[in-house]
Chains A and B, each alone.
Chain A
């Protein structure tokens, strides 16, 4: 318990004011990476779009795990809610992509509200188990409602109309990638403002010491619930993006496996910085893609070895490694 408290203090070290230029540089770097992806891997845009969609999911987990200290292994419930809402809307005639993203965000936020209301009743391991139970229930529901969701065969036949009436979602996936990337950037900047706002600070405070925050006169439950709703909206947008770019929604988008993988990506990258979420996603999915193309029979062993190596070398995730290096130089 003691060690944990220490670790939390480190991760939530107060950031000096006047470091706004660091965020500007960070966001510039993200733009450069996004553009580099577009120019360097023009033949892999579908993969890159998938990474963007999962990055949104991982960001949404960071909001509640990294900033609120609520452990979850069920975030895919929110991602899947967005994906299925967008998919069902699309099949029923709402084909404008931006509208679909908005529908996904709304569905994700609603699911986030429900999930938060249940999960915030418990702590620690029990909370983790609640999140698993919830995602399994969502999965069962999606499987059962096969008249609407296609069940295990997947919800197919999404015909998304061109973006702004001009740019089509085609084989090469340029539209999907650029739209997804713009969305990711926008969400990222918004989230940066949110986590730096008094509300975001309050969340971090709750993560460190809920008792003290209560003593200060703040209500813990509504604050965390609000963050759950925001997180749900972000995850829902990721799901909607995946639905639009893939044109199929499968049961895997509400699975425990996706939730667990996304959490692993986040922890790999580092909690509570938003950058860690992006770095973790890119490294995990890039690694998986490369290794499974070279030798699919052994990728699991190698991914496992990578995770163990990261814990041994950088227990706080890869971003903490960067911090450590910088600290070493200074």
Chain B
């Protein structure tokens, strides 16, 4: 029992990191129909900014997270304006080509400026201590990540289902031309959603740095994982993404506990099975 609980809590923390990073990608893919393979690159940029702020400038962890999110969004604005706007509505493969190109450039440039070594984001004292939760000790940071994931999921659900912006967003997704005709400024809606997606990637990159360490190849190394999570959950669906992250986190973690040697077999076999059973992901919208 103790072991099961222990594994469950690890799986939950890992799943939440995936969720925070991937939900942004799920939004861009589901709502804006852009296969943004450079999504991880933005998480990585945020990690570098946070590392610079916290380690080299000595700022606090919260300030570093804030700076990282703002900084990454600022960097993404010209990219959205000059590059992404050209590929909205393009065939998927063109989008793949463009976003892989962006990923390569980001990797090359960070490698040049920050060097190829690992960068860490120092945690505040409160988060770096192991906490005794009764049946085992767990890093406080893991509990923090779980909390972050819950807040993000709740906040997004509220934004999309309960606010006027959410209504405009859903309208634009269903029929952009019609919404435009009805006075919704679709370009603005797209730009804001893109910024939200990038901001979430940034948040995930920073708080997830303990799981996925920041280094120049971050953007390529985890690209596959992110894509898999989004497609299993169903692009554009928040509950779908939550289920996918928790399930895949669970399969991954238990697979690695029970039979570490075949951990990858478990994971990818499960992915094939799920995708064959739910070709649109758990809760993907019909196209």
Contact = CB atoms under 8 A, between A and B. Distances in A.
Chain A in direct contact with chain B (Cβ < 8 angstroms): yes
B224 A256 contact: yes
A301 to B, nearest CB: 3
B94 A311 contact: yes
Nearest to B227: A129
Contacts of B243: none
Contact of A121 (B91, B98, B108, B279): B279
A77 to B, nearest CB: 12
A267 B264 contact: no
Contacts of B105: 300-301, 304-305, 308
Q: Which 9 A-B pairs have the closest CB atoms?
A: A301-B108, A304-B104, A307-B101, A304-B105, A308-B101, A300-B108, A129-B231, A311-B98, A133-B268
A133 B272 contact: yes
Given A140-B264, A307-B101, A308-B83, A129 B228 contact: yes
Given A71-B93, A126-B275, A126-B280, 18 more contacts: A3-B91, A122-B275, A126-B281, A128-B227, A130-B272, A130-B275, A133-B272, A140-B264, A140-B268, A263-B93, A264-B100, A298-B112, A301-B107, A302-B108, A305-B105, A307-B97, A308-B83, A311-B87
Nearest to B261: A144
A122 B279 contact: yes
A244 to B, nearest CB: 29
A132 interface: yes
B235 interface: yes
Contacts of B63: none
Given A121-B276, A301-B109, A271 B227 contact: no
Given A125-B235, A126-B281, A267-B97, A132 B104 contact: no
Interface of B: 29, 35, 83, 86-87, 89-94, 96-98, 100-109, 111-112, 224, 227-228, 230-232, 235, 261, 264-265, 268-269, 271-272, 275-276, 279-281, 287
12 contacts: A65-B93, A123-B279, A125-B231, A128-B231, A130-B276, A133-B271, A140-B265, A144-B261, A264-B96, A264-B97, A302-B108, A311-B98
B226 to A, nearest CB: 11
> Which of B35, B101, B281 gathers the greatest number of chain A CB atoms within 10 Å?
B101
A297 B113 CA distance: 12
B272 A308 contact: no
A310 interface: yes
Interface of A: 1, 3-4, 7-8, 65, 71, 118, 121-126, 128-130, 132-134, 136-137, 140, 144, 256, 260, 263-264, 267-268, 271, 297-308, 310-312, 315-316
Nearest to B106: A304
Contacts of B265: 137, 140
Nearest to A66: B93
A271 B74 CA distance: 35
A311 B279 contact: no
Given A122-B276, A311-B86, A304 B264 contact: no
Contacts of B107: 300-301, 304
Contacts of B276: 118, 121-122, 130
Nearest to A304: B104
A26 to B, nearest CB: 23
A257 to B, nearest CB: 8
Nearest to B280: A126
Contacts of A137: 264-265, 268-269, 272
Nearest to A308: B101
Nearest to A271: B93
A3 B89 contact: yes
> Which of B86, B97, B265, B269 gathers the greatest number of chain A CB atoms within 10 Å?
B97
Nearest to B101: A307
A137 B267 CA distance: 9
A271 B276 CA distance: 27
A306 B101 contact: yes
Nearest to B177: A2
Contacts of B35: 125
Contacts of B90: 3, 7, 315
Nearest to B104: A304
B190 to A, nearest CB: 15
B279 A134 contact: no
A42 B271 CA distance: 47
A301 B112 contact: yes
B91 A300 contact: no
> Which of B91, B103, B111, B281 gathers the greatest number of chain A CB atoms within 10 Å?
B91
Nearest to B83: A308
Given A136-B224, A140-B268, A126 B94 contact: no
Contacts of B83: 308, 312
A93 B105 CA distance: 46
A124 B287 contact: yes
A60 B35 CA distance: 23
Contacts of A3: 89-91
Contacts of B91: 3-4, 7-8
Contacts of A123: 279
Contacts of A136: 224, 264, 268
A315 B95 CA distance: 9
Nearest to B89: A3
B97 A311 contact: yes
B173 to A, nearest CB: 12
A268 B93 contact: no
